């Protein structure tokens, strides 16, 4: 017999996959009910079955977006995996700066930026060294598939709990101002970043142009073929000598033809030499 609960779960999982490419694996499926509690309550729906009945109505696109947002994992914090940012500051950014000395332009993309902490961390790295970056145009684009995450990132407002996750007291007071409800990124920091909704599986915003891409803790929930498509998109976006930073424990090995880890790079990847690509 078909279990109606399983059918409803399948429909919700299908919606998430169609909109974001994210797969609802068995270990995440059991949490769907909890994740959707506030969506059900906020829309006066009694059960998952009631929800999928409403979702069948094409006019319910706002509800569909709420469901997708509730199922996405948006976990993030400032300077997540700090050692990676240390390497960016000490090695990667100076190297890229040398290579771009003629144009004095650098394009950085935070892909899957959630509520923006990763992009603000990058902006803080640049802003912390004004003498180094004087006369440079550093464009930071930060994107996420969820428009509500982008709205929140653009706002740049964080609770006391969020601001303390990853930031030291000096960073807090130098780059954020205290508000009635928490902390807000300083206007100068906000002006360094453009936040836009974008699905990583779509054509990249500026093909071949990014000197540095951070795509960390996003590809985890894609199945293998979808992850391979995402790597193709990232490769399309990267400048020929650019660098891609993945999350701790993420790799292109065995999953992407064009890109390979940089030896000793701690999550940094670049275009693989041609012979490696032919072997793959």
Ligand X SMILES: C[S@@+](CC[C@H](N)C(=O)[O-])C[C@H]1O[C@@H](n2cnc3c(N)ncnc32)[C@H](O)[C@@H]1O
27 part of the interface to ligand X, by CB under 6 A = no
Contact in structure between 133 and 123 (CB atoms under 8 Å): no
The Cβ-side half-sphere exposure at 139, using a 13 Å CA radius, reads: 13
Report the distance separating Cα 116 and Cα 145, nearest Å: 13
Residue for token pair 């996420």: 144
21 part of the interface to ligand X, by CB under 6 A = yes
Of the candidate residues 29, 55, 186, 201, the single one contacting ligand X (CB under 6 A): 201
Instruction: Tell me which stretch binds ligand X (CB under 6 A): 40-48, 72-80, 168-176, 237-245.
Output: 72-80
CA nearest to 124, candidates 165, 180, 69, 167: 167
Taking residue 255's Cβ as centre, other Cβ atoms within 10 Å add up to 17
Report the distance separating Cα 107 and Cα 181, nearest Å: 33
67 part of the interface to ligand X, by CB under 6 A = no
Instruction: Tell me which stretch binds ligand X (CB under 6 A): 87-95, 183-191, 212-220, 267-275.
Output: 212-220
150 part of the interface to ligand X, by CB under 6 A = no
Of the candidate residues 25, 37, 73, 179, the single one contacting ligand X (CB under 6 A): 73
List the structure tokens of 174: 């130098």
Q: Which of residues 108-137 bind ligand X (CB under 6 A)?
A: 112-114, 118
Q: Hey, is 50 helix, strand or coil? A: helix
265 part of the interface to ligand X, by CB under 6 A = no
96 part of the interface to ligand X, by CB under 6 A = no
217 part of the interface to ligand X, by CB under 6 A = yes
Please state the closest distance from residue 74 (CB atom) to ligand X, in A: 4
Alpha helix (H) residue ranges in 90-223: 93-99, 117-127, 130-133, 147-155, 160-164, 169-175, 187-190
Instruction: Tell me which stretch binds ligand X (CB under 6 A): 36-44, 69-77, 125-133, 155-163.
Output: 69-77
Q: Which is nearer to ligand X, 100 or 227 (CB)?
A: 227
Strands 105-111 and 137-144: parallel
152 part of the interface to ligand X, by CB under 6 A = no
CA nearest to 108, candidates 30, 29, 3, 213: 213
Please state the closest distance from residue 20 (CB atom) to ligand X, in A: 4
Of the candidate residues 79, 100, 158, 216, the single one contacting ligand X (CB under 6 A): 216
Report the distance separating Cα 180 and Cα 205, nearest Å: 36
How many chain residues interact with ligand X (CB under 6 A)? 24
242 part of the interface to ligand X, by CB under 6 A = no
Binding site for ligand X (CB under 6 A): 20-22, 72-76, 80, 112-114, 118, 144-146, 149, 199-201, 216-218, 247
């Amino acid at each position: 017999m078909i279990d109606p609960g399983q059918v409803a779960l399948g429909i919700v999982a299908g919606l998430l996959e169609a909109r974001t490419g994210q797969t609802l694996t068995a270990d995440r499926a059991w949490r769907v009910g909890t994740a959707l509690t506030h969506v059900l309550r906020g829309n006066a729906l009694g059960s998952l079955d009631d929800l999928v009945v409403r979702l069948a109505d094409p006019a319910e696109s706002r509800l569909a977006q709420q469901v997708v947002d509730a199922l996405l994992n948006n976990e993030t914090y400032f300077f997540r995996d700090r050692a990676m940012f240390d390497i960016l500051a000490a090695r990667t950014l100076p190297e890229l700066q040398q290579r771009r000395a003629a144009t004095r332009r650098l394009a950085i993309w935070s892909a899957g930026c959630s509520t923006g902490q990763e992009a603000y961390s990058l902006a803080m790295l640049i802003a912390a060294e004004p003498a180094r970056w004087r006369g440079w145009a550093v464009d930071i684009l930060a994107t996420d598939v969820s428009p509500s995450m982008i709205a929140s990132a653009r706002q740049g407002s964080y609770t006391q709990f969020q601001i303390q996750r990853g930031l030291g007291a000096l960073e807090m007071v130098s780059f954020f101002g205290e508000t009635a409800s928490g902390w807000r990124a300083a206007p100068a920091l906000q002006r360094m970043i453009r936040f836009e909704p974008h699905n990583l599986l779509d054509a990249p915003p500026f093909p071949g142009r990014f000197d540095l891409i951070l795509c960390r803790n996003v590809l985890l929930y894609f199945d293998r073929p979808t992850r391979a498509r995402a790597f193709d998109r990232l490769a399309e976006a990267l400048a020929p000598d650019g660098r891609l930073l993945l999350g701790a424990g993420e790799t292109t090995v065995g999953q992407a033809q064009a890109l390979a880890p940089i030896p000793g790079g701690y999550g940094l990847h670049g275009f693989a030499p041609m012979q490696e690509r032919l072997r793959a």
